[in-house]
Amino acid sequence: MIEIQDLHKHFGGFHAVDGVSLTIEQGSITGLIGPNGAGKTTLFNAIAGLHKPTNGKVLLGGEDITGLAPHQLFHKGVMRTFQIAHEFASMSCRENLMMVPSNQFGETLWNTWFGRKRIADQERALTAKADEVLEFLTISHLSDEKAGQVSGGQKKLLELGRTMMVDAKIVFLDEVGAGVNRTLLNTIADAIKRLNKERGYTFVVIEHDMDFIEKLCDPVICMAEGKVLAQGSLVEIKNNEHVIEAYLGTGLKNKEKNVVQ
């Protein structure tokens, strides 16, 4: 699905992403873990077009998409969410979702004035779609609230909702679980699972919560200092010595040993 070949992103002398090569399979939910500053978010930004990679290639189904602008990638079905939820604060949750499908009929000046009826039809369809998505995410009671005023966790759901307004191929989720309570986290995990099963979305998830990773992700990739440290199933990763040293710490291993004993 997505193939990353020897990707580099340097900021001055600092090599945030330093030669990452990996493949993400279609229909998988891949977990991306690693200590803070490992370059996970930078890798996302480089793929999603916010930063131009210094070096290397990103292929989407064989097509070179390296360095395309975010709105161009959007048309190819590549979407992402942010670590700290972004929203159009002054618009309602429903309007936030309705912003998403691009190239709407009302987007050209000519149609704004001379295509009123067709715009109205399209808006009605969009409203219905947005309401359906809000229902799916169990936040339909918030549809008319200003998005800037809902809680952090609900903003995260809204971000997920944004990817549902169009048929995304691959969605990059940057710490969907950060700052979200357990109940809401379960809602998010369920939503991700259902999207993956029912609509065939491919997900790449950055997450620090190992329970969350365990519940959703296979395979798991561990990054540290801008490089891929290990790649494999969760069990393999958990037992990989480099990963334990760089990220998980020895506590987890001991805990598991105790369980085995």
Partner 1 sequence: MEFLHAIIVLSNFVLIPAIAYGSQLALGALGVTLVYGILRFSNFAHGDTMAFGTMVAILFTWWFQSIGVSIAPLPTALLALPIAIVVTAALLLGTDRVVLRFYRKQKSAPVILLIVSLGIMFVYNGLVRFIIGVGDQRFSDGARFIISARDFKKLTGLDEGLAIKTTQVITVITAVLVVALLFWFLNRTRTGKSMRAFSDNEDLALLSGINPERVVLYTWLIVAALATIAGTLYGLDKSFKPFVYFQLLLPIFAAAIVGGLGNPLGAIAGGFLIAFSEVFITYAWKKVLTYTLPEQFAPSGLMQLLATEYKFAVSFAILLVVLLFKPTGLFKGKSL
Residue among 162 and 238 whose Cβ is closer to partner 1: 162
Cis ω for the linkage preceding 35 (within 30 of 0): no
Residue among 19 and 77 whose Cβ is closer to partner 1: 77
Residue among 33 and 79 whose Cβ is closer to partner 1: 79
Give me the least distance between CB of 89 and partner 1, in Å please: 6
Give me the least distance between CB of 235 and partner 1, in Å please: 34
Q: Which helix (H) or strand (E) holds 57?
A: strand 55-60
The answer to whether 144 and 93 are in contact (CB under 8 A) is yes
CA distances from 242 to 18, 45, 106, 218, 236 (A): 17, 25, 53, 19, 11
How far is 75 from 56, CA to CA, in rounded Å? 22
How far is 43 from 35, CA to CA, in rounded Å? 14
How far is 156 from 175, CA to CA, in rounded Å? 9
Residue among 56 and 77 whose Cβ is closer to partner 1: 77
Which residues of this chain interact with partner 1, rule CB under 8 A?
48-50, 69-71, 74-75, 79-80, 82, 86-91, 95, 99-109, 112, 119, 123, 162, 166
How far is 191 from 221, CA to CA, in rounded Å? 22
Give me the least distance between CB of 107 and partner 1, in Å please: 5
Give me the least distance between CB of 123 and partner 1, in Å please: 8
Give me the least distance between CB of 100 and partner 1, in Å please: 5
CA distances from 173 to 8, 106, 160, 235 (A): 21, 30, 8, 22
Sign of CA dihedral 140, 146, 151, 156: positive
Give me the least distance between CB of 159 and partner 1, in Å please: 9
Residue among 59 and 99 whose Cβ is closer to partner 1: 99
Residue among 5 and 83 whose Cβ is closer to partner 1: 83
| Neighbouring-strand partners of residue 78 | 170
Residue among 111 and 239 whose Cβ is closer to partner 1: 111
Give me the least distance between CB of 73 and partner 1, in Å please: 8
How far is 237 from 248, CA to CA, in rounded Å? 10
